[in-house]
Chain A
């Protein structure tokens, strides 16, 4: 099955990936990506820029409404995602538990919808 791992965390507590310690901070993420790749489980994924860069769009009565900020204002914001292949929810859960930010934030596992 395909699963999306949605990484939520409080941006205030997330380590700085652009500062002088960037290499140290990135190392566990590189290792996690490498492990996914080695297992043939990696289908894709990316980190997102901070929620301050978010724009929300809604179309109502044919009019496009654009506003600053995320769809939902919560303490924990979506900060990135992985798309993985796993046999079942237990396997997906095992990967989710290895996501470096899981010790600070939350990893939401969402099965990918299949239309066949």
Chain B
């Protein structure tokens, strides 16, 4: 009985926490109040459900309870006096949480756009999104980013302070701003995935929680904005990249490069889901950043092995990406793809064409150069490049891989 109640609460938390907070935030016009009311409703659920059993509609029960809790609190606090009449009405009308799916979608979208508002610092956007869109606790977010819980709590409090003080709107943006704001939301989800995928200072290479949450956020976005090809591109990219998660580390915890990965370990369901997101939109839809990156990941996903990969197609996609932005990382990856299409010498020439000081602290540049030099038999150059890579690499798993290459070359 108790175990069933606990699991019912876990399920309700996962599926309804974010929606509950989003709906309450619209009712109460205050994120803190909404969060507090939602928390109290879940606390009440653990007691009441244990005593009376799990209600037939847990989400509706939680919303009604949360609204009552909020009403109690607001009645005690004169600052919110103007909100009491509306709330009384809300509590008295029996509302089912999932009655109006469009309204719920709008509340959730408003929440996402609020959390990812460009007036907030990027790290605040990430923390808010994990808290209010993915429903992670402050402690979980702190653990994922390897900072003390108090630090993360402070970051969230400061962000909420700015939201309230500056009047940061929680609303679906005007049509004119929509594309830009959707891009900002996608960028936050991508940043969360990237942090999980190659944690810069983590012991382990992949911090699964953040990857899972980023995919959850991307799929939530797809369900809320089904007509947006770039949102689908983001979901596709994350799923296709994540399909290789199990193959990225071998049994000894060593990094496996894409070329050496055991492709039978790639997750077919994730590849299919990712490709599905990409294919749902016309080939004529604009080829924006995430769609192109997803397309590259898809070419890898269907290749039987490294050698038989369609490198010409991949180079074409990188050309298109490079025309979008002058991100040096894209040009680096393009050079690596050229090396596979035309040979290491051509790859080195493409690498030499990238002159960017910012890249010098990026270990993948030196690793790529080292590998290509090694393939052309320039061992001394390769050693030098691997040494530079190890100087700037901050991820232990990747660092260990670089040292293993160095040991092989030197001996």
Whether B168 and A88, one on each chain, are in contact in the complex, defined by CB atoms closer than 8 angstroms, is yes
Whether A88 and B169, one on each chain, are in contact in the complex, defined by CB atoms closer than 8 angstroms, is yes
Closest to B174 in A: A90
Contact residues, B166-198 vs A (CB, 8 A):
166-169, 171, 173-174, 177
User: B119 in the interface, Cβ–Cβ < 8 Å?
Assistant: yes
Closest to B118 in A: A93
Cβ-defined partner of A1 (8 Å) among B167, B171, B174: B167
Q: Which residues of A contact B377 (CB under 8 A)?
A: none
Whether A90 and B166, one on each chain, are in contact in the complex, defined by CB atoms closer than 8 angstroms, is no
Q: How far is the CA of A88 from the CA of B173 in the complex (A)?
A: 12
Whether A90 and B169, one on each chain, are in contact in the complex, defined by CB atoms closer than 8 angstroms, is yes
Cβ-defined partner of A111 (8 Å) among B117, B167, B173, B177: B167
Q: How far is the CA of A111 from the CA of B119 in the complex (A)?
A: 13
Q: A: which residues have CB within 8 A of B?
A: 1, 3, 86-90, 92-93, 109, 111
10 closest Cβ pairs, A-B complex: A88-B169, A88-B167, A1-B167, A89-B167, A111-B166, A90-B169, A89-B168, A89-B166, A111-B165, A89-B119
Count of inter-chain pairs, beta carbons less than 8 A: 26
Contact residues, B367-410 vs A (CB, 8 A):
none
Chosen A-B contacts, 9 in total, with CB atoms closer than 8 Å, are A1-B167, A86-B167, A87-B169, A88-B167, A89-B119, A90-B169, A90-B171, A111-B166, A111-B167
Q: How far is the CA of A113 from the CA of B184 in the complex (A)?
A: 29
Find the residue from B117, B119, B166, B174 having the highest chain A CB count within 10 A: B166
The tally of residues in B whose CB lies under 8 Å from a CB in A reads: 11
Q: Which residues of B contact A90 (CB under 8 A)?
A: 169, 171, 173-174, 177
Q: Which residues of B contact A92 (CB under 8 A)?
A: 167
Q: Which residues of B contact A111 (CB under 8 A)?
A: 165-167
Main secondary structure of the interface of B (DSSP, over half): loop
Q: Chain B nearest CB: distance from A106 CB in Å?
A: 14
Given contacts A3-B167, A89-B119, A90-B169, 4 further A-B contacts (CB under 8 A): A87-B167, A88-B171, A89-B169, A90-B173
Q: Which residues of A contact B168 (CB under 8 A)?
A: 88-89
Q: Which residues of A contact B174 (CB under 8 A)?
A: 90
Contact residues, B285-335 vs A (CB, 8 A):
none
Q: How far is the CA of A90 from the CA of B168 in the complex (A)?
A: 7
Whether B167 and A93, one on each chain, are in contact in the complex, defined by CB atoms closer than 8 angstroms, is no
Q: How far is the CA of A104 from the CA of B282 in the complex (A)?
A: 41
Q: Chain A nearest CB: distance from B143 CB in Å?
A: 31
Whether B119 and A93, one on each chain, are in contact in the complex, defined by CB atoms closer than 8 angstroms, is yes
Q: How far is the CA of A111 from the CA of B166 in the complex (A)?
A: 5
Q: How far is the CA of A3 from the CA of B165 in the complex (A)?
A: 11
Q: How far is the CA of A88 from the CA of B168 in the complex (A)?
A: 6
Q: How far is the CA of A86 from the CA of B167 in the complex (A)?
A: 9
Q: Chain A nearest CB: distance from B192 CB in Å?
A: 24
Whether A109 and B173, one on each chain, are in contact in the complex, defined by CB atoms closer than 8 angstroms, is no
Find the residue from A3, A90, A93 having the highest chain B CB count within 10 A: A90
Cβ-defined partner of A109 (8 Å) among B117, B166, B171: B166
Closest to A109 in B: B166
Q: Digitize B146-171: 1 where CB-to-A-CB distance is under 8 Å, 0 elsewhere.
A: 00000000000000000001111101
Q: Chain A nearest CB: distance from B170 CB in Å?
A: 9
Q: Which residues of B contact A109 (CB under 8 A)?
A: 166
Q: Chain A nearest CB: distance from B115 CB in Å?
A: 14
Q: Digitize B89-124: 1 where CB-to-A-CB distance is under 8 Å, 0 elsewhere.
A: 000000000000000000000000000010100000
Q: Chain B nearest CB: distance from A98 CB in Å?
A: 14
Closest to B117 in A: A89
Q: Which residues of A contact B167 (CB under 8 A)?
A: 1, 3, 86-89, 92, 111
Q: Which residues of A contact B119 (CB under 8 A)?
A: 89, 93
Find the residue from B167, B174, B177 having the highest chain A CB count within 10 A: B167
Q: How far is the CA of A1 from the CA of B166 in the complex (A)?
A: 9
Q: How far is the CA of A96 from the CA of B174 in the complex (A)?
A: 17
Q: Chain A nearest CB: distance from B333 CB in Å?
A: 35
Q: How far is the CA of A111 from the CA of B165 in the complex (A)?
A: 7
Q: Chain B nearest CB: distance from A65 CB in Å?
A: 32
Q: Chain A nearest CB: distance from B304 CB in Å?
A: 50
Q: Chain B nearest CB: distance from A91 CB in Å?
A: 8
Q: How far is the CA of A109 from the CA of B165 in the complex (A)?
A: 12
